[in-house]
Chain A
Amino acid sequence: MPADPRERDPGLQPERTALAWQRTVLSVTVGSLVLAATAVRLDRPVLAVAAAGVAVAAMLPIVLRIPDGDLPAHGRLRSWGFLSRVVWLVVALGLLGATTAVTSLVVLG
């Protein structure tokens, strides 16, 4: 652990990690909105609302929490909570996507 975790890292590790978070969350949001649009086209409002709900859930922490590069002042990283949260959102999106694909198979043949 560096002496002072707030000390500037020349490798910009906290910044790179924050950017990795941003593109992951952005991808989840875009993916769920595309799925919502597809569900609307298939005339399945429940699926559309569920997919839009994934997008909202992905964006909520950005609105509610100040981005600090996830590096608390005491230097102890807390990755697990955020990581498992985004993983379960992707799993939810995967299950919704599979359900939509099966629905499309049934509706369109």
Chain B
Amino acid sequence: MTDDHVPPQPDRRRPRSVYEVGTEPDARFSLANERTALAWVRTGLSLVAGGIALTSFATFADLSGVLDVVAAVACLAGASLSIWALVSWARNERALRRDEPLPSPRALPVLVVGVVAFGLGLAAYAVVEALA
């Protein structure tokens, strides 16, 4: 089974910090890890898209500059979150290759707190605007 399919050439895949440890896991686990990383990328992308949408609305509706600041923060947070997707992909793939338990999703509490703060901030802004 293995003799026919393991290529004779050495494993040169990057990043070396992931592929030089442990043994090759079931490809399905690696694919699942890849989809998880892509889901994190899309989460970051949603934050970026939210920021872009806010800026876009601001140009149509002549909204307050506060929203532009919120939009810029959302864009930067989304970019950071998608970089985290790469880091967490590497951590998970290393754990898979070493047959260790997966590391805990450290970005999740940060994301939840951030989104709650974002939502509450916008709600407060809407109330203040409505009263003013």
Contact = CB atoms under 8 A, between A and B. Distances in A.
Interface in B10-58: 11, 13-15, 18, 24-28, 30-35, 37-39, 41-42, 44-46, 48-49, 51-56, 58
A76 interface: yes
B48 A97 contact: yes
Nearest to B47: A94
Contact of B34 (A17, A75, A108): A17
Interface of A: 1-5, 9, 11, 13-14, 16-17, 20-21, 23-24, 27-28, 30-31, 34-35, 37-38, 41-42, 70-71, 74-81, 83-84, 86-87, 90-91, 93-95, 97-98, 100-102, 104-105, 108-109
Contacts of B45: 24, 27-28, 31, 90, 93
A80 B19 CA distance: 11
Interface in B40-89: 41-42, 44-46, 48-49, 51-56, 58-60, 62, 65, 68-69, 71-72, 75-76, 78-79, 82-83, 85-86, 89
B106 interface: no
Contacts of A14: 31
Contact of B59 (A11, A16, A38, A76): A38
B38 A97 contact: no
Given A1-B27, A79-B30, A108-B58, A101 B14 contact: no
B128 interface: no
A97 B31 contact: no
Contacts of A75: 5, 24, 27
Contact of B56 (A2, A11, A38, A91): A38
B contact face: mostly helix, strand, loop, or mixed: helix
A34 B49 contact: yes
B59 A42 contact: yes
16 contacts: A4-B5, A13-B28, A70-B34, A71-B31, A76-B7, A79-B33, A79-B34, A79-B89, A87-B86, A90-B44, A93-B75, A93-B79, A98-B51, A101-B72, A105-B68, A108-B65
A77 B38 CA distance: 15
Contacts of A42: 59
A101 B42 contact: no
